[in-house]
Structure 1
Amino acid sequence: MTAMALSEELLLLAHDDEPDRPGSTLPLEGGLAAALLLDLATEGLLVAKGRSVVGVDGTASRPLLAAALAALRAEDEPHDARYWLAELPVALGPLRGQVGAAVAERGALTADRCAALGLTAAPGRPEVDPAPEHELRARLHRVLVYSGEPDNRTALLISLLRPLAMVRGVVDKQHRKQADALAKAITRATADAAATPAAISRAVHAAQAAVVIAAVGG
């Protein structure tokens, strides 16, 4: 089975069965939109043009990414990444259900999670497969608890978790202060490193800015 997209990993972590793990899902639509931009950028289908990001001709690996790419390419004028964090959920429809459907296809969502997203649990899969979430959390623990060096994909995921206030929800209470500090450093490095493609940097900065604006506005 292919690896999950960043948007799928983000949704899997945002809908946690364990009630004692805090995590803000209020700006999740914007976070999922940012994840789509990052996935497009890592596939070479999103590039920076000045302060804007634009989609380029190519074939996306997933239907939802293809739809996002089509939305970007349909615009007459380029827009910055922050614009797309708000526009993609409008252009494509609510992202939670669409991303959730992809995760449900893997059998990684419980029936309750499917119901919360308005989805029907995949037929023939009465029991949830815990492996995808366990593997995802183990990958994050290696970085946020044991200070392991993140690969590029994990660094991008952490750069989404931090502005969505979800870092503390993926580690135990005694590790939260350390995890917050590590996530902050990783997010800054991911956005500002000289080797980071400009389109990825734009998307990471936009995710952080959008959440700050939402918090102030709320």
Structure 2
Amino acid sequence: MAITLAEEIMLLSLDDESGSAKQRQAAGWAVAGGILLELVLAERVTVAGKYLELTDTTPTGDQLLDSRTALIETWLRGRKQRRVTEWLTKDQAKAVGAALESLCTRGVVVEEKRKALGVFPMRRYPEADGAVEAELRERLRAVVLEGAEPDVRTAGLIALIHSAKLHGLAFPEGPRKQVAARMAQVADGQWAAESVHAAIRDMQAAMIAITVATTATTAAAGN
């Protein structure tokens, strides 16, 4: 089963048994970035420097991606381009819900509703089809721990994971320094056309800028 980069990141963030999301905020940035990268690969948007531009509204056939194309078109408000950081900030929380809904539709996870303390509504997404995540983790292991050459999508996924500092989700028991070093190498490698590679680099910069700003804001609020 082929799932999107955003769904792959979401799947890595979910606890297999409880279905609760780990590192939800950082994963949210990566999920939003994953959707954007899919649209870049599908030649629906371009990311250059600090700006995002919608270049083609033709449906891809994937509901998750096509819904984002429509949202981006509305968000642009007739402008040719807007800042990538603005879109990622706007879409971060909603992208998580959209990715989870898509995973449920595909039968990869199931939605469970319950109430914490009998009052507060909660949703969990335990795994229904473990084969999808098993294949994903094996693919990541082959590239990151065994040195295999990545295809474009896997390299893009690794770049997003690295940018959001989600190494522990992909390799919870792996050698952290080795994993981070190899992911950085893959992220910087010439594994795609220059336009795609440049888009990834610029998205990484945007995600890092957002992460730094969010961390600083959270720290200031705690003082």
Q: Normalising by structure 1, what TM-score?
A: 0.79
Q: Alignment partner of 2:184: what SS?
A: helix
Alpha-carbon contact 1:168-1:179 (below 8 Å) kept:
no
Distance 1:174 1:62 in 2: 33
Query: Which residues of structure 2 form unaligned runs of 5+?
Result: 115-120, 219-223
Tell me the equivalent position of 1:6.
5
Q: CA deviation at 1:176?
A: 2.1
User: How big is each residue's C-alpha offset from its partner over 1:90-147, in whole Å with a ceiling of 9 and x where there is no partner?
Assistant: xxx72222211111223222555x76974788xxxxx821100000000000011112
Q: Which moved more, 1:147-156 or 1:65-74?
A: 65-74
Q: How many residues align?
A: 205
Alpha-carbon contact 2:32-2:96 (below 8 Å) kept:
no
- Give runs of ≥4 in structure 1 deviating > 6 Å: 114-117
Q: CA deviation at 1:14?
A: 0.8
Distance 1:199 1:47 in 2: 7
Alpha-carbon contact 1:156-1:190 (below 8 Å) kept:
no
Tell me the equivalent position of 2:53.
54
Q: Alignment partner of 1:162: what SS?
A: helix
Alpha-carbon contact 2:155-2:186 (below 8 Å) kept:
yes
Q: CA deviation at 1:50?
A: 6.2
Distance 1:187 1:167 in 2: 13
Q: Alignment partner of 2:25: what SS?
A: coil
User: What letter corresponds to residue 46 of structure 1 in structure 2?
Assistant: V
User: How big is each residue's C-alpha offset from its partner over 1:121-178, in whole Å with a ceiling of 9 and x where there is no partner?
Assistant: 8xxxxx8211000000000000111121111111111111123222122225352221
Tell me the equivalent position of 1:80.
83
Alpha carbons of structure 1 residues 63 and 194: separation in structure 2 relative to 1, 3 Å: closer
Aligned residue runs from structure 1 range 1-218, under 5 A: 1=1, 3-17=2-16, 24-48=23-47, 51-57=50-56, 58-74=58-74, 75=76, 76-77=78-79, 78-89=81-92, 94-109=94-109, 118=123, 128-189=128-189, 195-197=194-196, 198-218=198-218
CA RMSD of aligned residues (A): 3.0
Query: Which residues of structure 1 form unaligned runs of 5+?
Result: 122-126
Q: Alignment partner of 1:54: what SS?
A: strand
Q: Alignment partner of 1:26: what SS?
A: helix
Distance 2:184 2:174 in 1: 17
Q: Alignment partner of 2:36: what SS?
A: helix
Alpha-carbon contact 2:48-2:202 (below 8 Å) kept:
no
Alpha-carbon contact 1:47-1:199 (below 8 Å) kept:
yes
Tell me the equivalent position of 2:221.
none
